[in-house]
Structure 1
Amino acid sequence: MKVLDHFSVEKYPKISDVVDYWAVEKAEKVCIQEVDGKECTYAQLKKEVDSLAAGLHALGISKGSPVLTMMENGLACVEAWLAINKLGGIDVPVHTAYKGYFIKHIINTCEAKYMFVNDRHLETVIESLDKNSHLKVIVVGNAVVEKNRIPANLEIFYFNDIKIPNSTVPAATCSPDDIGNVLFTSGTKSGTQGLILTYRQLRNTNINGINRMELTENDVSYVCFPMSHGNGKFSSVGTFLLLGATSVILEKFSARRWIYDVHKYQITYTSLMGPMAEFVYKQPPTEFDHNNNLRVILNIPRNSEFTPKFEKRFGVTCIEVYGQAGVSAPITSPIGKHQNYASCGTLVEESYDARLVDSETGRDVEIGATGELWVRPKHEGLISPGYFNDEESYQLAWSGEWFMTGDLMRVDEKGYFYYMGRSGDFIRRRGENVSVKEVEMIIKSIGHVQDVAVIGVSTEFITGEDDVMVVIEGEGLDISTLIERCEKELPAFSIPRYWLIAKLPRLPDQTVDKQLLRNRGVTPDTFELKKTRG
């Protein structure tokens, strides 16, 4: 059977519809294997999803209900996603590092009434909850919360207790352009916003990945990136569920155990984002480096010097793509073709048009010159229709029929695109997007802080990622107090590594001259936070 021909998004819009099919056709095949944990066949997965969906339906979840999922990688996370999906609800992944403002912002933006959360994060959710919101929380794990710790506007349920065994509910009837997921991501213009992902866009993402990597039902995926990200949940687990293949899920990435898991579980495909490949390469050589089934790795970004050495050591092909959650992957480097390791690939011409535009003139730049990437889809379902409950902010990213990505690129005469950075305020740190606007907002709210500038400074990694530096202007400021406040409010990846209290340089219009601060970088009087906590 040709999977991509069979599972049209019109006939099987939801990924849970596909799982129901495989539960009959491949009942005994393992679809989810937790590293050092449970394994689950397609038939077992359907049974657990049905019982959980029945329980969620009894709680009031139905088509269109936003449900937040603040969960660690694992089988429970997959079950929750598919149960929400079966009911036609909207799965809203929440990064497990989020705290305070960020959790409150997502709850309020989605007007959410339901949330899954691992027990280790429950206290964080309780502390973050707005007094005006009412939330039903399904706790994954065995930790019991004392009644006097539960606020009046919070109802606690437990994952295994709400399941109704041997029960089913009718799957919701959905169209391809209904909302399947909302993915909160950091941008340059409007902070953290919830991108709408329709069933059609999610399916296109799956199909593009299958074609790009030449994946089949016999491949085995190693999921070591958080499932709160599109890469971990949709591009990895979702794609392999569509194929009727197997996903091996690790709760948290470990460079030390990576090659051992690859060998043990006979992994053929995985993804390594940011400096993860460097962490793996720095581990001592093992007998499994070349004795494994690895075939292809989605590696973003690659490097002309490093990537060939990585491929040789592990006997694998590394593929790069350029993409955003809102635009899928308009630029790719398909497997089997000449690999230009300095480039993120060539345009997927059957699906997108592209321009590189001078932001000041609005005109296309010449070949070899740097400009902002604008893309135009050639058919529906390739680009997100907007931000959830915020139509106005999303329109700022469009110029007519062209989507302005905010990414700077250049293209050579052969059509290879080269990523040159971001326009505006944007920091990417260890595979995570840092919302500069919101980090500045939180620090600025601290007493005696007059103004603040958050910038990215170079790291030791060859992947071109940044570390976070903050320059604060104010009187009577204590860095340890500032750090303590940030640790309460910010996810660990957003807490600045470098701190400086100084007068901020200004441009003639009195805005902060961030370029001058970037040029200065880390100075001798800058305080370095050796390790972030939280």
Structure 2
Amino acid sequence: MRGHPKLDDLGPALPRERWTLVEAVRHQARAQGEREFLSFENGERFSFAEFDRLTDCLATALADLGLTAGDRILGLLTNSKEFMITMIATHKLRAVFVPVNTELRGGFLEHQIINSSPRMIVVDDNLMGRFSSFDPSETGIETVVGVGDESSPDISKLGLLAEVSQVRMDSLLDTTPNTEKLADPSPSDVCTIMYTSGTTGPSKGVLMPQGHCYLFALGIVAAMELTEQDRYFCCMPLFHANGLFMQVYASLLAGSSCHVTKRFSVTDWLNIVREENVTVTNALGVMPEFIFRSPPSPSDRDHKMTRILAIPVAEEWGVAMQERFGVKLRQGFGMTEVNMVAYSDLDDPVMSGCAGPPLSDFFEVIIADPDSDVELPRDQVGEILVRPKIPFCFNVGYFKMPDKTVEAWRNLWFHTGDAGRMDSEGRLFFVDRIKDRIRRRGENISSYELEQTLNEYPGVIESAAVGLRVPGAGGEDEIKAVIAINGPSPDPEAFLDWCVPRMPRHTVPRYLEFVAELDKTASGKIRKQAIRDAGVTEDTWDRESIGYVISRS
């Protein structure tokens, strides 16, 4: 193992008291000027200097609309120029950006809006209908900023929110910038709230300071050995830390360029890599294996890409993937709350689950007994616990959820809920998840929120949702829901037809079972492990067996 380079010397090489994304944008606007920074699949391209100028324009306009330090602005936006500009413009006012998953609808979305209580929302025109059932008096929303090509979109889709102030993004970007209205955030300023799915409760808003976001990006600059000559390819959603901080903002800090698409497509992936002269990319969840399982081609090495951050990787296909595409794979471990705390070396052999040595300049990482929090010897499996060594490189709690914050920080360690081990060479290995977290299509899913929605169906008494590992799922979970129903069981297709408009696509169960009652412990807890152990039974209905398709609309 070569070990990790000194991060302070990388990227803009800013002193730690200036570790903010705003400072990075301003620094690179001066240093890189009109060199290309970002491009999008619709053909839009802009430079470091233009990005700084556009964010000044929008920040000035938002200040004129009354946005001030500490206010929250929620974005329901697809991967786009407007997403990126909105975030940094918000930060230039020391306000807080709240990006939310564009798949959210119904109670999932309502919880995050009510919890974050934003003064403004910025929304793509084609997503306005998601807000039709919300009452602005319950949310505190004062202004809706619409994004799209239409000059006069149908705002009636907003329901009661159509009654609040409406403005268009294009008009705000035409504002003459006034830097006197802008602010200089510090690394300690909470600048972003990202929601992460809970297991026994609703999604939690992670409070992320500027220093936390900056180190997310700087860690990738080191791990992927980025330079100004690199070109990143981001096909992951910007409402998650990987796409936003570990690809786009890593490119910003490195002074390299980044090409952004709206979503991952295994059939288009290599063509885009080739056409855009991509040198580095990230692949998360099922993506790496999907890429490897795609049909081989004589042109698989006809590209400029040399590095992929791939999480997870299995030895059985990881080595072959490197050889096939002529790239080096790097793994790591992290989560929204704790940052990326470990990376493998590019020269390390591919080992299943190997995240590499922890970034010891910034984090303490131990493996502990899940019941006692006592540190375990090397090579024993326990829970991965993390805490920071420097201020503001870590979450500072869950928004409006002090009980969940205290629970996660038991005994002065942050509990990740993930099982792992540390080998004799000090490398961290991810083993599995602990308890009831479900992961599908690169998303952590709250079984609690899913069950709350299922329980709204007429006649449902209660439900239990679990993740099952089945062949062909790429190492991720397929969702099984066992539903206690009062009366005859509903038609499974009709039940899913009811579910689809009320929940994100990736949370719609694949497997359904209807029962008279759920098996419980003596203390009244549902025996979820028994459901997992049973897996797919003769009583389980599988939507894929009949070709049930969920549209993206």
> In the alignment, does 2:202 pair up with 1:191?
yes
> In the alignment, does 2:528 pair up with 1:521?
no
Once residues 302 and 133 of structure 1 are traced to their aligned partners in structure 2, the CA distance between those partners, rounded to angstroms, is 42
What stretches of structure 1 move > 6 A for 4+ residues in a row?
Answer: none
Q: Is the 8 A contact 1:352 1:376 kept in 2?
A: yes
Q: Is the 8 A contact 2:76 2:121 kept in 1?
A: yes
> In the alignment, does 2:263 pair up with 1:255?
no
2:24 matched residue in structure 1: 18
Q: 1:358 aligns with which of 347, 369, 383?
A: 369
Shift in CA distance, 209/229, structure 1 to aligned 2, threshold 3 Å: same
Once residues 219 and 368 of structure 1 are traced to their aligned partners in structure 2, the CA distance between those partners, rounded to angstroms, is 37
Once residues 458 and 222 of structure 1 are traced to their aligned partners in structure 2, the CA distance between those partners, rounded to angstroms, is 29
The 3-state SS of whatever aligns with 2:17 is coil
Once residues 9 and 335 of structure 2 are traced to their aligned partners in structure 1, the CA distance between those partners, rounded to angstroms, is 28
Which stretch shifts more, 71-80 or 138-147? 138-147
The amino acid of 2:529's aligned partner reads Q
Once residues 347 and 18 of structure 1 are traced to their aligned partners in structure 2, the CA distance between those partners, rounded to angstroms, is 25
The 3-state SS of whatever aligns with 2:38 is strand
TM-score, scaled relative to structure 1: 0.94
2:5 matched residue in structure 1: none
Once residues 249 and 301 of structure 2 are traced to their aligned partners in structure 1, the CA distance between those partners, rounded to angstroms, is 28
Deviation at 1:88, TM superposition (A): 1.6
2:148 matched residue in structure 1: 141
The amino acid of 1:116's aligned partner reads V
The amino acid of 2:310's aligned partner reads N
> In the alignment, does 2:400 pair up with 1:389?
yes
> In the alignment, does 2:451 pair up with 1:433?
no
> In the alignment, does 2:296 pair up with 1:285?
yes
Deviation at 1:9, TM superposition (A): 4.1
1:507 matched residue in structure 2: 521
Shift in CA distance, 147/250, structure 1 to aligned 2, threshold 3 Å: closer
1:124 matched residue in structure 2: 130
The amino acid of 1:315's aligned partner reads G
The amino acid of 1:364's aligned partner reads E
Q: Is the 8 A contact 1:47 1:166 kept in 2?
A: no
> In the alignment, does 2:478 pair up with 1:467?
yes
Once residues 338 and 307 of structure 1 are traced to their aligned partners in structure 2, the CA distance between those partners, rounded to angstroms, is 10
> In the alignment, does 2:54 pair up with 1:48?
yes
2:4 matched residue in structure 1: none
Once residues 239 and 206 of structure 1 are traced to their aligned partners in structure 2, the CA distance between those partners, rounded to angstroms, is 4
The amino acid of 2:550's aligned partner reads T
Q: 2:34 aligns with which of 3, 28, 35?
A: 28
Q: 2:217 aligns with which of 202, 206, 209?
A: 206
Q: Is the 8 A contact 2:221 2:253 kept in 1?
A: no
Once residues 141 and 326 of structure 1 are traced to their aligned partners in structure 2, the CA distance between those partners, rounded to angstroms, is 32
2:312 matched residue in structure 1: 301
Q: 1:333 aligns with which of 326, 338, 344?
A: 344
The 3-state SS of whatever aligns with 1:284 is coil
Q: 2:354 aligns with which of 343, 350, 356?
A: 343
> In the alignment, does 2:485 pair up with 1:446?
no
The 3-state SS of whatever aligns with 1:347 is coil
The amino acid of 2:264's aligned partner reads F
> In the alignment, does 2:68 pair up with 1:62?
yes
Deviations 1:174-204 (A, max 9, x none): 2210111111011334330110110111112
The 3-state SS of whatever aligns with 2:536 is coil
Q: 2:381 aligns with which of 347, 353, 370?
A: 370
Once residues 202 and 458 of structure 1 are traced to their aligned partners in structure 2, the CA distance between those partners, rounded to angstroms, is 33
Give aligned-pair identity as a percent.
26
Deviations 1:60-97 (A, max 9, x none): 11221111111111222111112112122111111100
Once residues 145 and 218 of structure 2 are traced to their aligned partners in structure 1, the CA distance between those partners, rounded to angstroms, is 32
Q: Which runs of 5 or more structure 1 residues have no equivalent in the other structure?
A: none
Q: 1:495 aligns with which of 500, 508, 511?
A: 508
Once residues 77 and 209 of structure 2 are traced to their aligned partners in structure 1, the CA distance between those partners, rounded to angstroms, is 22
Shift in CA distance, 84/279, structure 1 to aligned 2, threshold 3 Å: same
Q: Is the 8 A contact 1:302 1:463 kept in 2?
A: no
Q: Is the 8 A contact 1:333 1:346 kept in 2?
A: yes
Shift in CA distance, 86/107, structure 1 to aligned 2, threshold 3 Å: same
TM-score, scaled relative to structure 2: 0.91
Deviation at 1:340, TM superposition (A): 2.8
> In the alignment, does 2:165 pair up with 1:158?
no
Q: 2:15 aligns with which of 8, 14, 17?
A: 8
Which stretch shifts more, 392-401 or 503-512? 503-512
Deviation at 1:245, TM superposition (A): 1.5
Once residues 310 and 36 of structure 1 are traced to their aligned partners in structure 2, the CA distance between those partners, rounded to angstroms, is 30
Shift in CA distance, 10/360, structure 1 to aligned 2, threshold 3 Å: closer
The amino acid of 1:44's aligned partner reads E
Which stretch shifts more, 339-348 or 73-82? 339-348
The amino acid of 1:397's aligned partner reads A
Deviations 1:286-320 (A, max 9, x none): 45421211121110001011111111111111111
The amino acid of 1:518's aligned partner reads R
> In the alignment, does 2:550 pair up with 1:532?
yes
Shift in CA distance, 73/491, structure 1 to aligned 2, threshold 3 Å: same
